[in-house]
Structure 1
Amino acid sequence: MSRPQYILKFVVITLAYALTIFAIAASFLFVPNQVDTISWVRTLIIIFASTLLAKYFFYMIVSPLETLRVFFARLHWRAERPYYYPRVSVIVPAWNEEVGIVSTVRSLMRSTYDNLEVVVVNDGSVDNTEAMVLQFAELFASKTKHSNTAKKIIYAAQPNSGKGAALNRAIAHSSGDIIISIDGDCIADKHAIRNFVEYFRDESVMAAVGNVKIANVHTLIGTIQSLEFLFSFYFKKADSLLNTIYIVGGAAGAFRREVFTKLGGYNTTNITEDIELSMRIQDAGMRIVYASDAIVYTEGASDLAGLKKQRLRWKRGRFETFYAYMHMFLSAHPRHNKFLSFLVLPLALFAEIQLLFEIPFVVFLYFYSFVATDFSSFISGIIVVSSMFFFLMIFEDKSTRRFSFYILAPIGWCLFYVMTYVEATALLRSVFGFITKEEVQWQKWKRTGIQA
């Protein structure tokens, strides 16, 4: 981390602690005054926010049940299918990934699962991606030519056609029964592939989403993203239990080949081809689970500009996908999951509507707190977010029990304001772009790479 980045992170964390301490102290030092003319607005905002908080508390209660379900289900799977060793194809789309592509492939070649092939498709890169992949593939082949490993690297190149087309090309070159997609800036844990495969012992499982973690947590933006991912992926346990997962991200997604033979490949016109495929799987009544122990590390956006570009693409793509699958909202069709159709998808849209008003709501709450000397809203936020942090540290994997997470727990409520700003601006731009048909490309930001 550069010196300016270190100073920025230190200053922001210090200010967040100062604001937290002030809010706690002020709640004891000042007597609240009732401001009748505007107090009803504050009450309305709190009720509005509580609807989504109720969802998160429900997810926190339900998520540990998925851990128990998987534990006992695995005992059954292993008894039913004691020998399960399918061929796995890991597909890696690459567009100007010279910074991290070798680390990605190297991490896959270090996998504890041997019946594996890695298919890299170069989507018209103009940097050294091709040379670096071919050099590593040649080196790996020379080192393993006298071994009995089943691992191999397949390379293909095409003119720049987009991520969806690159993924489809990779599938065409693959031979595995299980197909796993990993982005060219990711590093897979050495047990990730093996752990992914375990979930497919259950013949009802058609797809699985892995546990993605931010690797570059040294920057302020990286730290905030790591906290966001910690919460969002933990809550996927509840979605897995209810079969309401509708996003299998490209950074770590696994599929039976049957998904592609029955439903077709990735959509090449949707800018979030992973979300579109996930919704298509749900639309077909197929089951998606969360593989919490299939851990993949990704390089998050390193600065605010890069993060805004990423979230713009995500927001816009989700809008397009929701529009294409409107028939799944409030659907009574037998193949559609009722929790997904009547609860999860409508709440996802409601959250976007709330996001449009969240920044003015927060500004109003600050204004009201100082006018009425009533800081209970902030105390509630501190208690709720801190409690959720400590809950995750108890029930999530041991990587969440780092000292840095304990340091950030009391100020997490404050740091999440950064994500609120990013998400709100991305939402406004995506709505405008959706209306005006503005094109959004496979966007990149400046990468520094992460090491395997």
Structure 2
Amino acid sequence: MSMDIPLVIFWLFAGVSILYVIHFGLYLVGANFYDVWQQRRKALWGVRFPAEYEAECAATATWTSRAPPEVPGLVSIVVAAHNEETVIVRTLDSIARSTYRSFEVIVADDSSTDLTGRLVRDYQVRHPDMDLRIVRMHKNVGKGAALNAALRRHGRGQYVMTLDADSILEPGAITNALTYFDDPYVAGVAANVQILSDTTVLGLLQRFEHMIGYRSKKLYSLLNCEFVVGGVASTYRMRVLRKVDFYDTDTLTEDIGLSMKITKLGNRRFRMVYGADVVARTEGVLTLPALAKQRFRWKYGSLQNLIKYRGMMLNPSRRHTGTLTYYRMPMAILSEFTLLVSPLAWTYAVYWSLVTQTPALIVGAYATVTFYTLLTIWLDENLTVRERARLSVYAPTAYLLFYIMDLVQLTAALRCIARSRGLVRRQEINTWKSPKRAGSTVVVAHGA
């Protein structure tokens, strides 16, 4: 009987490893087909929007007397900010360098107590050619509510791009994002978000995680089963946002909630796609406690939204694709359960391999993760040759780095279980705090 538990743990580890290998293979093949699709898509630019699609969006949109008129071709870039004095100017500078020039910038200042508002107003004075406004909340209402207030009352664009105040937009990001809307059934575009700095262990960990995670979105786009669109450089049709009445404020991840709410309309006609060439960069967290706090918030919010929109799972419909209902959403739930066992299983497997002197399983898992990390680096279309070479040197550490991340995710999962009541009985989110930033502190210009 004493051998039963080790045997179970062994097979758990083997099962997790096999699952990862299958997924790595799917991601690898899917990413290659995505690249082919990209070339074909660019060759077909200029597709006209079917009149019935635009009519449906317009007829069912949520309009209010205070909603500004929509301007064709204009992009409303809304930046959520709360005490972001160290990074807000850097973000505005990156927007100013955009190759696409028809945009307005709305800073949703959620009751900042530092110099954020003053720095934005100073930027307005120094850049009179930029259509820049600041919408200040009189009290801390939460990120989702702040974005809603800015968009409902001030957004005039045909398209909306959201940014976090610590993110940097690449010059061609807006132009590239808009090309995806040549497909009349694309409702939202997820950006390729990269970590700004990877000079520390945590920075390198987050860099690899983002690279591999966003590579998987190529497969999800190809299969039309993407439903997770983050808040950094994500782009939507304004009419679709009005149709769903913008962000909900009852989960910790309002960005995922928005993309899932749009997906609920039916992902056959309201598609979410990944734009590998829509590049934005964001800061990673600086400390392990901050990483644990961030991942708990992401996981808790994701579970809240998966439960909230559980009706799409395993529910065949003419509005939703089978890849979404039978593959993507069930796998999202299954991966959360996998996280509960994988760190423990991996730890025991290492111990068991050392004791029995049969390291083949561990070596195989290590080789698989390292090989896939190297492929991700070499096939990344946004890396320079120098960056590829530098990251390739660090690739052999990926297995250990991901093990650390699994432990962080396990801790987050256990915290979610401890607070499981809030997963179903959701309350309005009316406060938020920005983490410590690595960006250099800026100085207010004289005369501001």
- Please report the TM-score for the alignment, with normalisation by the length of structure 1: 0.86
Q: Check conservation: 2:76, 2:105, Cα contact below 8 A.
A: yes
Q: Deviations over 1:327-384 (max 9, x none)?
A: 1110112111210110111111111111111221122112101110111122112211
What aligned pairs does 1:284-299 form with structure 2 within 5 A after superposition? Answer: 284-285=265-266, 286-299=270-283
Q: Which residue identity lines up with residue 160 of structure 2 in the other structure? A: I
Which residue number in structure 1 is paired with residue 252 of structure 2? 271
Which residue number in structure 2 is paired with residue 376 of structure 1? 360
Quote how far apart the aligned CAs of 1:179 are: 0.3
Quote how far apart the aligned CAs of 1:316 are: 0.6
- Please report the TM-score for the alignment, with normalisation by the length of structure 2: 0.86
Quote how far apart the aligned CAs of 1:301 are: 0.4
How many residues align? The count is 408
**Segment drifting more, 125-134 vs 438-447:** 438-447
What aligned pairs does 1:384-403 form with structure 2 within 5 A after superposition? Answer: 384-399=368-383, 401=385, 402=387, 403=389
Q: Check conservation: 1:103, 1:450, Cα contact below 8 A.
A: no
Q: Deviations over 1:289-314 (max 9, x none)?
A: 11111100001101111111111110
- For structure 1, the residue ranges without an aligned partner over 5 or more in a row are 1-34, 145-150
| Aligned with residue 244 of structure 1, among 208, 216, 225 | 225
Asked if 1:449 corresponds to 2:439, the answer is: yes
Quote how far apart the aligned CAs of 1:400 are: 6.6
Q: Deviations over 1:165-205 (max 9, x none)?
A: 11112212111101000101100001111111111122121
% of aligned pairs identical?
31
Q: Check conservation: 1:187, 1:450, Cα contact below 8 A.
A: no
Secondary structure at 1:319's aligned position in 2?
helix
Change (3 A) 1:279 1:185: same
Q: Check conservation: 2:82, 2:112, Cα contact below 8 A.
A: yes
| Aligned with residue 299 of structure 2, among 306, 315, 332 | 315
Which residue number in structure 1 is paired with residue 186 of structure 2? 205
Asked if 1:181 corresponds to 2:162, the answer is: yes
Q: Deviations over 1:234-267 (max 9, x none)?
A: 1111111111111110112100011112111101
Q: Which residue identity lines up with residue 28 of structure 2 in the other structure? A: M
Question: In the aligned structure 2, how far is the partner of 1:433 from the partner of 1:443?
Answer: 20
Which residue number in structure 1 is paired with residue 308 of structure 2? 324
Q: Check conservation: 1:63, 1:238, Cα contact below 8 A.
A: yes
Question: In the aligned structure 1, how far is the partner of 2:230 from the partner of 2:260?
Answer: 12
Q: Which residue identity lines up with residue 413 of structure 2 in the other structure? A: L
**Segment drifting more, 48-57 vs 261-270:** 48-57
Quote how far apart the aligned CAs of 1:438 are: 9.6
Q: Which residue identity lines up with residue 184 of structure 1 in the other structure? A: A
Q: Which residue identity lines up with residue 332 of structure 1 in the other structure? A: P
Question: In the aligned structure 1, how far is the partner of 2:366 from the partner of 2:281?
Answer: 29
Which residue number in structure 1 is paired with residue 348 of structure 2? 364
Secondary structure at 1:212's aligned position in 2?
strand
Which residue number in structure 2 is paired with residue 407 of structure 1? 393
Q: Check conservation: 2:227, 2:259, Cα contact below 8 A.
A: yes
- For structure 2, the residue ranges without an aligned partner over 5 or more in a row are 50-71, 443-448
Q: Check conservation: 1:59, 1:238, Cα contact below 8 A.
A: yes
Secondary structure at 1:87's aligned position in 2?
strand
Quote how far apart the aligned CAs of 1:433 are: 1.6
Change (3 A) 1:171 1:46: same
Change (3 A) 1:355 1:37: closer
Question: In the aligned structure 2, how far is the partner of 1:79 from the partner of 1:244?
Answer: 22
**Segment drifting more, 192-201 vs 402-411:** 402-411
Q: Which residue identity lines up with residue 365 of structure 1 in the other structure? A: A
Which residue number in structure 2 is paired with residue 135 of structure 1? 122
Question: In the aligned structure 2, how far is the partner of 1:263 from the partner of 1:381?
Answer: 44
Change (3 A) 1:44 1:107: closer
Which residue number in structure 2 is paired with residue 99 of structure 1? 86
Asked if 1:164 corresponds to 2:169, the answer is: no
Quote how far apart the aligned CAs of 1:404 are: 2.4
Question: In the aligned structure 1, how far is the partner of 2:158 from the partner of 2:262?
Answer: 17
Question: In the aligned structure 2, how far is the partner of 1:99 from the partner of 1:252?
Answer: 20
Q: Check conservation: 1:93, 1:170, Cα contact below 8 A.
A: no
Asked if 1:427 corresponds to 2:395, the answer is: no
Q: Which residue identity lines up with residue 89 of structure 1 in the other structure? A: S
**Segment drifting more, 304-313 vs 439-448:** 439-448
